[in-house]
Amino acid sequence: MRELLWSYVSLKLRKTVKMALRTYGDKPISFQIEEGGEFYCVGSEVGNYLRLFRGSLYKKYPGMARRTLTNEERKRLIDNGLGAHVLSSSVSLLKASEVEDIIEGNDDKYVYKAVSVSQELATPRESKSKKPHNQSWLPVMPNSSHLDAVPQATQISRTRVHNKKAIDTLSKTVIEPL
């Protein structure tokens, strides 16, 4: 009970007091692709700034809207002087307003939320078929294996079709089998 109360209090404190994010380097620049359009930031720069490298930014905040640059947009940005970080063919753009929310600590709406056990039990679901619940764990067998090309092993026939005759090399005679 004490642990439950402590987790509830820490959850309430976490919602009211926002933790300052550890950042690294300069804040990522925001830019517009079209006049009067949405402001964007480069995803890799945001990840470096928040110390979330190699795609972990997108794993931590899967609710963020992201998109890739088209070739026409890339040319337009290079003409505007933003060529250093948009030369890659797979640049992800994030909305600058969402990036600002995360930097300010308002990242609740972008973080993946797992369903707790109490919420799962509170909402009953209709099941199509009733299967007996087995408590023992069984490993799942893969659907394919490296033997798929040979559907069934071929047995080696040990029956002899004809009797073999042996030749004695010393006397040069044929020995008949029994």
Q: Which range, 26-35, 84-93, 145-154, is most confident? A: 26-35
pLDDT in tens, 118-144: 444 455 555 555 555 555 555 555 555
pLDDT in tens, 47-87: 888 888 777 888 888 888 888 888 888 888 888 877 666 67
Q: Which two tokens stand for residue 137?
A: 């764990």
Decide which of 94 and 114 is more confident: 94
Decide which of 95 and 177 is more confident: 95
DSSP 168: E
Dihedrals φ, ψ of 51, to 5°? 60, 40
99 Cβ neighbours under 8 A, 6+ residues apart? 28, 30, 41, 46
Q: Give the three-state DSSP class for 3.
A: helix
- Please provide the average confidence, as pLDDT, over all residues in the chain: 70
**In residues, how long is the chain?**
178
According to the model, what pLDDT value does residue 78 have? 82
Q: Give the three-state DSSP class for 94.
A: strand
Q: Which two tokens stand for residue 127?
A: 């099941």
CA atoms within 13 Å, Cβ hemisphere of 166: 7
Task: Report the first-to-last Cα separation within the chain, whole angstroms.
Answer: 87
CA atoms within 13 Å, Cβ hemisphere of 46: 26
H-only helix segments in 50-170: 56-60, 71-79, 96-104, 117-122
Q: Is the pLDDT of residue 110 over 60?
A: yes
CA distances from 159 to 102, 162, 165, 167 (A): 76, 9, 16, 22
